Structure 1
Amino acid sequence: MTSDRIWQPLVEELACRQRADRKAEFWLRDDDVVDPTPALDRLLDLTSEFAVPVTLAVIPALTDEKLVVRLDEAPHAAVAIHGWAHRNHAPEDQKKQELGAHRPREAVLDDLARGLSQVTGLHGARAVPMLVPPWNRIDAGLVPNLGSIGFAALSVYG
């Protein structure tokens, strides 16, 4: 399958919407954000130019004020929580997972609560109470507890 064929359903849907004079709305998510980088600058510039909202999944344990300063120039960007440290706790023979059953549930929830607090403290109203699990994996047993530590949304693949 060529990359052109991968995009064909989207191209067809957009063409259909255009014929019907209907607008498509997009939202983007960028993971693993820690510091300002040229790639992040490009993403923020493009999304600003085309008025596309973007949510940055920030790694709380690794970020600081430098990102806050950069995002002051990007009012269209929201900040979500990308785990705590993006550290794999799964054994080598398993898929990577920070938020798995490989550690006590309370330890994982404590990390997530600390991450939400860290990001909210740094980014204020720009922070959204959304968890974006590293590697898009989270132990299903954690999900019912997310609301009790302040999360209102979970963004995963699938």
Structure 2
Amino acid sequence: MIPEDVNIAELAADLKKDAIAIGPQTTANYPQLQQDLAQVVDRAEGGDFGSVGLVYLDHTPAVTSDLRDIAQELLNSTDYETIVVRAPASGAVVSDVHSRAVLEIGQSDLLATNDFVAGADALISDVTLSSVAAIDWATVTIMGAIVLIVAIAIIAAGQWGLRRKAKFLNRSSIEA
């Protein structure tokens, strides 16, 4: 659920300007943050990560899972492939292009530091360099399905053979 004091339209408008939305209190506390995060966005978009929107809220919502809802709404209302929402005590990352497993690996490093720039850099590096992202899950799924079908066919053939043998033995014992 989106907290009442979070204006999604305003955050989306800020993101559309330069991929970064920072709360006024955070901006006052960290005047260089906007410029430093712009470099992170450039590195992400210049590399294999893709487009990213970075949002830094002044306070953490009472229900921290609301951060994921905020991120999802911003993903739905902007053209970014990935949205990062960071608050002082937590954060959330959603993406149309990166798997949840890979994002969670990166999110732990994002939240492990109070340095917003280092956290964002770590997230992008973790996601970009993750070996989990290199797994072709479609191929793994297809190969798993083939193995399952072959196993079922072998079991079915074995059962058919056992029934046939039982019939033969049954017939032989009746004739004897």
TM-score normalized with structure 2 length: 0.26
The structure with more helix, counted as a fraction of residues = 2
Higher relative contact order (CA 8 A, sep 6+): 1
> Which is higher, the Rg of structure 1 or of structure 2?
2
TM-score normalized with structure 1 length: 0.28
